[in-house]
Amino acid sequence: MDSLATDSEDWSRARAGDRNAFALLVDRHEDRLFRRAVRVLTTREDAKDAVAIAFFELWRHRAAVRLVDGSPLPWLLTTVVHAARNLERSTRRYRVALSGIRPENVPAPRTPDESGVLAALRRLSRREQEVLVLVVLEEYSEAETAVALGIPAGTVKSRLARAKARLRTDMEGLV
């Protein structure tokens, strides 16, 4: 029996609520979905999560999912890519949020700064430093930075402009 005919039969039973038939679909397609998710994500653990999300969504929306040539595989492939992208965005947001957290009473690491650049950066306000790091060094857009910091986009622009102007003034004295 070919895979499509089996998919169609198992899907009919799964739509009716047969968990065993759904488990057969999971067993049949999870490796392919995992390979697809790994291409989109940077970690294998996130790829596993994306596959789990895709199957969860398939079960949740089983009454509305349309088959292609008798198989839910195309729907699953599309869903796993969407789940993977959502996971990647979430991970990026968490990294940005966590990068600004430092335990209290723990000084920032110090290294010799012969050029004076780090000293000039330290003279900026904490808010200006946050914006400058995210936009210039981490290459986030101003809109993404605004969301990450929970401030309006206009505030990001003004803090960035102030930070650049101060750095320019400080650096002119060093050159």
Instruction: Give pLDDT tens digits for 80-129.
Output: 999 999 998 888 887 777 777 655 665 665 666 556 777 788 888 888 98
Backbone angles phi, psi at 133, to 5 degrees: -60, -45
CA distances from 8 to 12, 23, 61, 130 (A): 6, 14, 16, 53
The span from the CA of 132 to the CA of 137, in Å, is: 7
3-state SS assignment for residue 82: helix
Q: What is the model's pTM?
A: 0.54
Among 21-25, 99-103, 153-157, 166-170, where is mean pLDDT lowest? 99-103
Model confidence pLDDT, tens digit, residues 129-147: 888 888 887 788 888 888 8
Q: What pLDDT score was predicted for residue 159? A: 93
Distances (CA, A) of 40 to 35, 37, 57, 58, 138: 9, 5, 19, 20, 20
